[in-house]
A and B are shown apart, each in its own frame.
Chain A
Amino acid sequence: MTVVDTGSRYDRLIQPDRVHGSLYTDPSVYADELERIWYRTWVYIGHESEVPEPNDYVVKPMGPQSVIMTRDKQGQVHLLLNRCSHRANLVCEDERGNSSALRCHYHGWTFANDGRLLGYPFMQGYGGPEAKKELGLGRVARMESYRGFVFGSFAAEGPTLREHLGAATEAFDRLCRLSPEGEVQLTAGWLKHKVRANWKMLLENETDGYHPQFVHSSIFEVGQSGIGDLYSDKSLAVSRDLGDGHTENDLRPEFRRIGKPLGWFGTTEDRLPDYVRRMREVHGPGAEEILIDGSPHVMVFPNLFIAEIQLFVLQPLAVDETVQHVTAVQFAGAPDLNRRMLQQTIGSVGPAGFLLADDSEMYERNQRGVQARTPEWLQIKRGMHRERLDENGHTIGYATDEVPLRGIWRHYRQLMTEERPA
């Protein structure tokens, strides 16, 4: 591989108040991103609740690749690559299942679900059983999990997952504490929605508080939803740069102003009496703050969007093609809330969703628009003059300000330019 001076290139293309259009269209930028982001930093893979039983497995996206997340018979989770160590055929065709072994159907090689090669036909052809030890399945170099959320990194060395998550760690805690049992369960299956757009269009939009009033005005009006008001100029909600590329629309100031349990979910406690009772049993007086504050709206760089009642996983497939995988959040011990979250998710997201069909239309129009040669730049400076620091030292702005965009690009530029081990 030739060594290119990528540093000065990305310093030129990413400026504090604007970014260059070629970042969304240039295949060589996408190739750099694969090496410097998707095959290097921590990437969200899946949740432990998706492989609840010994020998369960599920195939999950990791950037443009897919990996097999398995649970072996001792209960340990593994991230294996779907590539036979012999001739690179697939070892797993089903999206999920339960099996102690994975078999390549090309020449009959069989692997344990912890990646070890168990055997192949006509053993002497490779000089006997000793050869087996070096021919296990490839694995994601590092795997760590937090609150059941499993991440992988192809880099053998680097920051720990906790270091990577940084200030976004708290978002996982805030999500999980909405379960009376403190656990998220991803059991509702996935919608897979494909767009002809660069993955960063999606990454940026997830915490863009400026667009909802315009892109989603149709459903806010028809559904008499108060969501639009959360993203108005008068909203107390704040946009936040959590650092490390993680960003947030913090809606809590508005929910606290309204001060009603489950107001964040657009409902009232009398509609979910069992859930509210259980939360008060578990948390006592502390339940009120949890029930008022609600669920986070946090984009965990580069691919996990905690979208209050949904989780999105972004999967880039090409410079102009991205799949958004989305599921409904389900909480252990909250069947009545889970039913409503599932039905709201079905209504809102996916290819026919009241919200996401229109977001996705915007992604695709953006991708066509950015082909135009002038102006070459995209603006990210809204609210730059009124940024301030919160009590934790994070940069915040108005609900509609582009603080999150600037946070994303600052981190992106660092990843794309920093010196790294050869």
Chain B
Amino acid sequence: MTASTDVAIDLRTAEQFLYREARLADDHDYDGWEALWTDDAVYWIPAGGMSAVDPTTQVSIAFDNRSRIHTRVAQLKSGKRHSQSPPSSVRRLVTNVEVMGTDDAGDTCVGANFLAVEARERGTTVWAGRAEYRLRLVDGEIRLAWKKVTLVDRDRALPTLSFLI
């Protein structure tokens, strides 16, 4: 990644995209959320320890390629994803948004912090962490090529996390 002011997507546009992605996830608009991703997308939620460094040798909470993103969404839409049926009530804040530069593929790298509050019968859970995104212009539209969600408590025992974070 090179730090550069000459990025394809400016801060204001990137922010608007991040907020939209967050809203679609909070609203359980599964089709809308899935449509944001590029064909080569990766959606990654590392677990503890070295997981955040190497998802090819260490277990992660999620490490979805595009096909698995589709599976995740299809399972949520089936109505029989019991851990999201009924769905959690979720609202999240996305803050501290920065455009970090451009990666080798030309995607714009964006970083943010997030705080999500999830309420369901189990109780209310606060999820917080760092979210990193790689955004790409495809036919004039911003698409999400990569998202890494690094939870502050990823080293701890976590409750079920089956909404889209």
Instruction: Look across to chain A and name the residue whose beta carbon is closest to the beta carbon of B123.
Output: A196
Is A347 touching B68 in the complex (CB atoms < 8 A)? yes
B 2-50 contacts with A by CB, 8 A: 45, 47-50
Of the candidates B60, B75, B159, which one forms a contact with A354 in the assembled complex, judged by CB atoms under 8 Å apart?
B75
Question: Does residue A120 face the partner (Cβ distance < 8 Å to B)?
Answer: no
Q: Which residues in A have their C-beta under 8 angstroms from that of B60?
A: 346
Is B82 touching A215 in the complex (CB atoms < 8 A)? yes
Q: Which residues in A have their C-beta under 8 angstroms from that of B80?
A: 217-218, 221
Is B59 touching A361 in the complex (CB atoms < 8 A)? no
Given contacts A189-B47, A364-B122, contact A195 B78 (CB under 8 A): no
Interface residue tally for chain B (C-beta within 8 Å): 38
Of the candidates A328, A357, A368, which one forms a contact with B121 in the assembled complex, judged by CB atoms under 8 Å apart?
A368
Of the candidates A215, A217, A343, which one forms a contact with B63 in the assembled complex, judged by CB atoms under 8 Å apart?
A343
Given contacts A215-B82, A221-B78, contact A352 B161 (CB under 8 A): yes
User: Considering the chains assembled together, what is the distance between the CA atoms of A327 and B60 in angstroms?
Assistant: 10
Is B81 touching A218 in the complex (CB atoms < 8 A)? yes
Given contacts A196-B122, A347-B68, contact A342 B78 (CB under 8 A): no
Given contacts A218-B78, A351-B61, A361-B83, contact A189 B51 (CB under 8 A): yes
Question: Does residue A18 face the partner (Cβ distance < 8 Å to B)?
Answer: no
Question: Does residue A332 face the partner (Cβ distance < 8 Å to B)?
Answer: no
Of the candidates B57, B82, B158, which one forms a contact with A358 in the assembled complex, judged by CB atoms under 8 Å apart?
B82
Given contacts A189-B50, A223-B71, A357-B161, contact A95 B78 (CB under 8 A): no
Given contacts A95-B49, A189-B48, contact A360 B83 (CB under 8 A): yes
User: Considering the chains assembled together, what is the distance between the CA atoms of A346 and B59 in angstroms?
Assistant: 6
Q: Which residues in A have their C-beta under 8 angstroms from that of B57?
A: 187-188, 342
Smallest CB separation, A338 vs chain B (Å):
8
Given contacts A189-B51, A191-B61, A192-B48, contact A95 B160 (CB under 8 A): no
B 106-165 contacts with A by CB, 8 A: 121-123, 155-162
Is A95 touching B155 in the complex (CB atoms < 8 A)? yes
Question: Does residue A323 face the partner (Cβ distance < 8 Å to B)?
Answer: yes
Given contacts A218-B80, A343-B63, A352-B45, contact A188 B56 (CB under 8 A): no
Is B49 touching A193 in the complex (CB atoms < 8 A)? no
User: Considering the chains assembled together, what is the distance between the CA atoms of A255 and B74 in angstroms?
Assistant: 28
Q: Which residues in A have their C-beta under 8 angstroms from that of B51?
A: 189
Question: Does residue A139 face the partner (Cβ distance < 8 Å to B)?
Answer: no
User: Considering the chains assembled together, what is the distance between the CA atoms of A146 and B120 in angstroms?
Assistant: 43
User: Considering the chains assembled together, what is the distance between the CA atoms of A189 and B61 in angstroms?
Assistant: 11
Q: Which residues in A have their C-beta under 8 angstroms from that of B58?
A: 188-189, 342
Is B56 touching A339 in the complex (CB atoms < 8 A)? yes
Given contacts A196-B122, A361-B83, contact A222 B161 (CB under 8 A): no
Question: Does residue B62 face the partner (Cβ distance < 8 Å to A)?
Answer: yes
Smallest CB separation, B151 vs chain A (Å):
10
Given contacts A189-B47, A346-B62, A352-B45, contact A195 B82 (CB under 8 A): no
Given contacts A189-B47, A189-B59, A352-B62, contact A323 B83 (CB under 8 A): no
User: Considering the chains assembled together, what is the distance between the CA atoms of A342 and B63 in angstroms?
Assistant: 10
Question: Does residue B72 face the partner (Cβ distance < 8 Å to A)?
Answer: yes
Instruction: Look across to chain B and name the residue whose beta carbon is closest to the beta carbon of A187.
Output: B57
Smallest CB separation, B112 vs chain A (Å):
20
Smallest CB separation, B154 vs chain A (Å):
9
Question: Does residue A190 face the partner (Cβ distance < 8 Å to B)?
Answer: yes
Q: Which residues in A have their C-beta under 8 angstroms from that of B59?
A: 188-191, 326-328, 342, 345-346, 350
Given contacts A194-B159, A195-B160, contact A358 B81 (CB under 8 A): yes
B 68-105 contacts with A by CB, 8 A: 68, 71-72, 74-75, 78-83
A 346-377 contacts with B by CB, 8 A: 346-347, 350-352, 354, 357-358, 360-362, 364-365, 368
Instruction: Look across to chain B and name the residue whose beta carbon is closest to the beta carbon of A356.
Output: B160
Instruction: Look across to chain A and name the residue whose beta carbon is closest to the beta carbon of B78.
Output: A218
Instruction: Look across to chain B and name the residue whose beta carbon is closest to the beta carbon of A368.
Output: B121
Contact with B along A172-203 (1 / 0, CB 8 A): 00000000000000011111111110000000
Q: Which residues in B have their C-beta under 8 angstroms from that of A218?
A: 75, 78-82
Instruction: Look across to chain B and name the residue whose beta carbon is closest to the beta carbon of A188.
Output: B59
Q: Which residues in B have their C-beta under 8 angstroms from that of A95?
A: 48-49, 155
User: Considering the chains assembled together, what is the distance between the CA atoms of A105 and B47 in angstroms?
Assistant: 28
User: Considering the chains assembled together, what is the distance between the CA atoms of A342 and B45 in angstroms?
Assistant: 15
Question: Does residue A219 face the partner (Cβ distance < 8 Å to B)?
Answer: yes
Given contacts A188-B58, A361-B82, contact A195 B49 (CB under 8 A): no
User: Considering the chains assembled together, what is the distance between the CA atoms of A235 and B160 in angstroms?
Assistant: 31
User: Considering the chains assembled together, what is the distance between the CA atoms of A360 and B160 in angstroms?
Assistant: 7
Of the candidates A327, A350, A360, which one forms a contact with B61 in the assembled complex, judged by CB atoms under 8 Å apart?
A350
7 shortest interchain CB distances as A-B pairs: A218-B80, A192-B157, A361-B83, A194-B157, A351-B161, A218-B78, A357-B162
Q: Could you pull out 16 A-B pairs where Cβ atoms are within 8 angstroms?
A: A95-B48, A189-B49, A189-B51, A190-B47, A190-B48, A190-B49, A192-B157, A195-B160, A221-B78, A342-B56, A343-B63, A346-B60, A350-B47, A358-B162, A361-B162, A362-B82
Interface residues of B (CB under 8 A from A): 45, 47-51, 55-64, 68, 71-72, 74-75, 78-83, 121-123, 155-162
Q: A219-B71, A222-B78, A346-B60 are in contact. List 15 more A-B contacts (CB 8 A).
A: A95-B48, A189-B48, A190-B49, A190-B59, A192-B48, A192-B157, A219-B75, A222-B71, A222-B74, A342-B57, A343-B63, A346-B55, A351-B61, A351-B161, A357-B160
